[in-house]
Chains A and B, each alone.
Chain A
Amino acid sequence: MLRLEKIHKSYTIGKNALHVLKGIDLTIEEGELAAIMGSSGSGKSTLLNILGLLDDYDSGEYHLDGRLMKGLSETRAAIYRSQSLGFVFQSFNLIPFKTAAENVALPLYYQKVRRKKRNKLAREYLEKVGLLEWADHLPTELSGGQMQRVAIARALISRPKVIFADEPTGALDSTTSLEVMDVLQAINAEGVTMVIVTHEHDIAGMCGRVIHLNDGMIETDERNAAAAA
């Protein structure tokens, strides 16, 4: 599903070039639930951004679902994101003046799905994450765990092939973290490929595969048979 070959990425900060990714080779198969771990500055967020087509890379090749993603225009990237990718962020990134249902429906709005249909779908997906009765509430009226579940429903509604989650539990307490992970695992069980960036070991422990990054390189890449079940 995702195939990276010798990916390099550096940022220019003032006069210094910061080499963040130093040759990443990685393949993630369809239906996997992979965790990317690493200390801060190890390049895990950059890797996720490249995988999610939110950022471009300098050299190497990235194949998404068999297609080479390189030098995409912002418009092409937006179309791919809209069609096959979903995002879950640490800070939820819900739009504050929209209700839960409207937030969930947003990706369909950009796919030009009719209003009636997308509102119906939004409620279906909210039900899936157990928040149907909160559909008409604004994000400020929800708890952190609820907001993240809304964000997950939003990531799901466009039926993406891959969901990228950047520290999805980073802003949540341990109980709600587990709730959110349960939801993510359930979605993965339905066949959606999932990549989670985290620095929490118990979260990583719930994933079928744990990839450790250190200083822009893959340090370890372990299968976790226990979690896969």
Chain B
Amino acid sequence: MFDLDNWQEIYHALASNKLRTFLTAFGVFWGIFLLMVMLGSGSGLENGVVAGFEDEATNSFFVWTRRTSIPYRGLPSGRRFELTGGDTEAIRLHVPEAAVVAPRNQLGGFRGGNNVTRGNKAGGFSVMGDIPEYIQIESVPIVGGRFLNQLDLDEKRKIAVIGTRVRDVLFEESEDPIGDSIEINGVYFKVVGVFEPSDSGEGGGNEAETIFVPFTTFQNAFNHGDQVDWFAITAVPGVAASVVQEKVLTLLAARHRVAPEDDRAFGHFNMEEEYNQIQGLFGGISMLIWIVGTGTLAAGAIGVSNIMMIIVKERTKEIGVRRAVGARPSVVMRQIVFEAILLTSAAGYVGLLAGVGVMEGVRKLLASAGGNVQMFKNPGVDLEHAVLALVVLVISGTLAGLVPAQRAVSVSPVDALRAE
């Protein structure tokens, strides 16, 4: 197997028509190159989209109220109702599977008018009433000062944590916002922290225009009473968010005299479901990539098989001579299969390197561009896939060699010697 002569013979067989060998090898090269680029791009797309979920707990869900659609216990349908602080306590008490229960209130926001001013500067921003634990549901990277704490809530302090965009609109570059005051709907708040958006792209822009104030302060300052606009809740590890969501909805329905079967009374949004859907989508995409990739690879392998067929035909007489001097059929077959494997593996290996190289190049380019390309992040082929591709290659090389090898020994030595 590792005899020098063996290599010499393979070399002579493949070198006898260099252009043909090159074109054949190119078929395999192209197949594996495409497979690698597609796998790399697929993983880049997946990383990019999954990264969009990173700043939010994927086991979280949101619940808000709408109108009832079924009359129940003497109450008419179409009734409006509101979540309250009592609901917060009830969920914490009766649904132990809920890890973080964050009541939230909101002021202003999308297409809202100017609600925040400082001197002669003004802007329209989302003002959120939150509890400190909210940071466990969505990450809020602080770049200066601090986030809300429990003392702020207990003492209903008039403080605010502002997004970078809010800072840029209301403050000069030379000014330090920390310790300064801003006016929200006529109420003064002291800025204690600045955060930057955790999302890149459009979602990040909205985030940067957000102001966090303590939940209790919000209720007081903006006449919200005990009202809660919506809940953001995470499940404890090991429990599906959808299961917890079901329990919370049942509890809330009972507390607000909503018919148990009324599924229009509450609005809800489940991160986990979204996440799973997207995971499923990528499962499908990656399957498609493998089907197309292996198809291209198969076309390359068939090319190799074809060329080995021609080589065998051309060398019929030589193979006859070898058999006359004592080459057993298995030895002849092994040699031809070995040639096919070498051709596919060598060409495939180069394709593998080129494909991985291109994806590395794209990754570098993205990194130097700041890495803020939406929906695309860290493209690349993992070792596992590369090794799998190599295994597929060697197998297809073997198969590509088997048919011509069989052909080579199916001719009787006499006929082979007679061939010209």
Contacts and interface: CB of A to CB of B under 8 A. Distances in A.
Interface of A: 49, 52, 54-55, 74-75, 78-79, 81-83, 87, 89, 93-95, 97, 102, 106-107, 109-111, 115, 154, 158
A49 B414 contact: yes
B187 interface: no
Which 5 pairs of residues, A with B, have the shortest CB-CB distance? A82-B326, A107-B325, A78-B328, A110-B326, A93-B321
A94 B317 CA distance: 10
15 contacts: A49-B414, A74-B329, A74-B409, A78-B327, A81-B325, A82-B326, A82-B328, A93-B324, A94-B321, A95-B318, A106-B325, A109-B3, A110-B326, A115-B5, A158-B326
Given A54-B417, A55-B414, A107-B326, A95 B321 contact: yes
A222 to B, nearest CB: 28
Contact of B327 (A52, A110, A115, A158): A110
B323 interface: yes
A81 B331 CA distance: 15
Contacts of B414: 49, 54-55
A87 B3 contact: no
A93 B318 CA distance: 8
Nearest to A93: B321
B239 to A, nearest CB: 66
Contacts of B318: 95
A95 B9 CA distance: 11
Given A54-B414, A74-B409, A115-B5, A106 B328 contact: no
Contacts of A87: 324-325
B73 interface: no
Contacts of A111: 326
Contact of A97 (B4, B12, B324, B328): B12
B412 interface: yes
Contacts of B4: 115
A158 B417 CA distance: 20
A93 B320 CA distance: 9
Interface in B272-323: 317-318, 320-323
